[in-house]
Structure formats: structure tokens, C-alpha cells
Amino acid sequence: MLKRRVLLGAGGVVATGAALAWPIRVASRPVVTAATDAHTHPASEHILRMGKAAMASPRQAAQPFTVRMPVPRVAAPVRRTADTDVYELALRPAQVEILPGTTTAALTYGGTFVGPTIKAKTGRKVQVTYVNGLDKPANVHLHGGHVPPESDGYPMDLIAVGASRTFDYPNRQAGSTLWYHDHTHHMEAEHVYRGMHGFYLIEGPQERRLGLPRGRHDVPIMLRDAHFDATGGLILDVEHPEARSTLLANGRPLPYFPVDAAKYRLRLLNSSIHKIFRLDLGGVEMVQIASDGGLLPEPVPRTTLTLAPAERAEIVVDFGRHAIGSKLVLSDAKGPVMRFDVTRRVPDTSRVPSTLRTLPPLPASGTTRRMKLGVAPSKMAYAINDLTWDADRVDARITEGTSEIWEIYNADTVDSEFGGIDHTFHLHLVQFRVLDRDGKPPLPGESGFKDTVLVRPGERMRIQATFTGWPGRYVYHCHMQEHNVAGMMAQLEIVR
């Protein structure tokens, strides 16, 4: 375990290299690795000195179910053209209320701990001008978006302090629950942990025809964990991610949410930088209708749901089956997350049809690439195929329009030097299909399009992606972001 903690500390120095600029409490002992050095991160000695102070007694969260869960506000376009909705959004620090009666320093999009929701439509473009009001360069990645490289939020492609940049999102993809978050090289874990995250919802033309719950019965819920000190300040303890024991739903701790006795479409997103959620609703049926890339072929009834960092799952819960006054608790393996309070009867004509979407047949693939996720002992860093991130190295050149099978293997097995370590795999630019896990069919809810998957220790899985779009460079990486900043990221280039 000692070596594993050292490794996490190595990731921590990368994630917290700007600790002098951001007033975040960091509880880790940085270690110089191949991915970091004192010249690159002059704050290292400062972090070493402040480590013990950062471990002051943590602040207790609110009493369960005393805070109402907010629904993130919907952003309003500053103007509309014939084919485009135009937005402006500021990257800026803010004092926000997470714990009741306490303000917490955060980094935000638009001044709120969960940024404003951008609602888009398939086939209608969105253009967002991001204005950097922070005191460090930063960027924005539309996670799951099929976008040109200059609008992808490439880790080295940053918006300078005081500058602005316009990103173009074509929305040439199916309706789906996406999200936007920071992807600044070496800083994404800290920035996302501090609050740089928000929903981006694409509505597809088929969704309304299906009769799924909509309007106030269509609710995005961002789930994550956090750790607070006695004053309400966020603590980023990279050596002990399990210390992040405060669970948040839409930025509030253990909230309640009043619901009608009707069917709800709940868009669940795990925006944690490390935590895996294992969710249940006390045995109540949750019908999964969508994953990362949109609707599944058919609904999947389930009573438990696993969400790894960056994964999304849309579920329909029929609260109309429960009496007024019923209280249904959504729980994680560690304890309650939030509560739904059934408050009133309303007319409900929504439905979940037996068929949701017809998926296109998988095209022929002539290439299989193998990706090994795991610790590279010689580097004491997380790596892909034993290589850590290098912006000057292209790891895969792919001809635009071709389809490939990627075999992903988690080499951090239970009996390895560092013990079993979970990883998640995220591919930019395109959605993919899961073919199998250890030669077995995909898990329930994995039959549709995905952009992020959990890969367990020792597990081997195959995915298939078709690389349509634009020439240019994109990345793929582990979305446990403390692994990503410690080297577990690689680069592909689309060529014609």
C-alpha cells in the first residue's frame, strides 16, 4: 500500500502544481516523477509544508435530507441565428454555498458550482465564447461531443488569462446527456474538483416522439464526492481519495428533492475525479433508457447501477407507483446520496416504450489496437502501454472514416506490485460500442454507444469505434483524473 500511496502522491503534485494560485487545501506529499519536476512545479515545496495543516479536522456535512437539491439553471443564448444558438460563459472564481450556511471558494463556469446547463438540439449548432476570468490559463472540454479539434479542449490548448475563445459544437450526433469540464494539462483533476463542470444536453428528434418524461420531469443530477475542512474549504487529498466522504447531488450534500407522483427521467452523471458510485433506490426499479451516447436499443430494468467517473446513465423512475408522502432514498455503497419525496398527484401521459432506438450495424474493422492501462514501475507513474503522456508523441494515426477495434487491458491486477487498481477509459471525438468483457457480452446498459467505460483490475475488454469527423489531434485517457494527470493519457491523430 505504501508504494500505491507514493504513486497517488506523485499524481497529486501534478494536480496541484498551482496551489499557490488556487486556495485549495491539498493533503498529499508530492513526489517527483517522470511526469513532474521541481522546475515545472515551483509550488511543490509549499505543498510539502502545508500538507499537515491541510489535514485539520474535516467539516461535517449537513444533516441528511435537510437541504433541497437544486436543478442547475439553464443557460440562455445571447443570440440566435438561422442555424446556431450563441452563448457566452465566463470561467471565474466564486464563493458558493455547498454546505448550509457556509461559503466555499470554487472555480466555476458562470459563477455556480454546477455550471449552467446548455440545451442543444441534434442538427442545430451551438457556439460558445468562453471568457477566462481566472488568474491561470484554462480550457473547456465537451465530454462526449463530436467536435473539431480546435473546439475539443485539447489539454495543451489553453485560453489565456483575460482572453476569450469561441468553440463550435456542430451537434451532429444523437440526443444524449453530455457534460463540459476543464481539461487543462496537469490541472484538470483540481479544476474539476473545484467546480468546473456542467451539463450539456442534446435533444434528438426521436425522443419527443417516444413520449418519455419531459419538462420538469426531466432532471439532470450530477453526483460527486468532496472533502471539507472545518471552515468549509475544499480539501483535495490525493493520497486518500476515500476521505472524500461528503456525497453531493447537484452540488448539495445529502439533499432531498420533491417529486410528483409521476414518471421522471433522471439524467445521472458521475463527475467525481476518482469515486465509483454503486447506486440503488432501496430495491425500487430503475429503468435505464440511455448511456453516455444516448438512448439504448431497449429499456433495461434494474435495481442497482454502477457509475464510474464521467459515465452517464439515464433512468426512468415511476414515482406514481408510490403513495403521497413516500420517501425514496438513493444510496451508494457508502450510504445515502439523496432522497426523493413524493408530494402530489398529477396527470402523467409519459411512457417508456419497449423499443427506444435502432443501432446501425457495426462496420467491418481491419485494425485491432491494444491498450494496456497500468502503473509503469520504471517511471512510478500511471501509463498507457507503459508510456506516459507526451504532447510531442502521436500514439495512433487513424485514417478518417475507418473503424477500429481497441482491446483495453487493466494490468493493475490484484496480485500486481501495486494491488488492484480500477481505471476508466475515455476516448475523445467519437462514441464507441462495447463488444465484450473478458470474452463475455457487455454488461447491462452497455448495449448502446459509450465514451467512457470502467475497466476492473485484470479485466480485458474490446470496444469498436468509427473515426469520422475532422483531421487533427485528440486524446484518450483514464478518467480517474488523478491517474490522468499522473501520465495515463495518450494521443491519436486523425488523417486523410
DSSP state of 349: -
Cβ–Cβ < 8 Å for 275, 244:
yes
Write out pLDDT tens, residues 312-367. Answer: 999 999 999 999 999 999 999 989 999 999 999 999 999 999 999 999 999 999 89
pTM score, two decimals? 0.91
Render each residue's pLDDT in the chain as its tens digit; 496 residues: 334 443 554 333 333 333 222 333 444 322 222 233 322 322 223 222 233 334 444 565 678 999 999 999 999 999 999 999 999 999 999 999 999 999 999 999 999 999 999 999 999 999 999 999 999 999 999 999 999 999 999 999 999 999 999 999 999 999 999 999 999 999 999 999 999 999 999 999 988 899 999 999 999 999 999 999 999 999 998 888 988 999 999 999 999 999 999 999 999 999 999 999 999 999 999 999 999 999 999 999 999 999 999 999 999 999 999 999 999 999 999 899 999 999 999 999 999 999 999 999 999 998 999 999 999 988 889 999 999 999 999 999 999 999 999 999 999 999 988 889 999 999 999 999 999 999 999 999 999 999 999 999 999 999 999 999 999 999 999 999 999 999 999 999 999 9
What is the DSSP code string of 417-484?
TT----EEEEESSS-EEEEEETTBPPPTT-SSEESEEEE-TT-EEEEEEE--S-SEEEEEEESSHHHH
Burial class of residue 177 (count of CB atoms within 10 Å of its CB; 0-12, 13-18, 19+): buried
Write out pLDDT tens, residues 424-447. Answer: 999 999 999 999 999 999 999 999
* Contacting residues for 101 by C-beta, under 8 A, at least 6 apart: none
Q: What pLDDT score does 189 carry?
A: 97
> Between 44-54 and 2-15, two packed helices, what is the crossing angle to 10 degrees?
120
Q: What pLDDT score does 210 carry?
A: 97
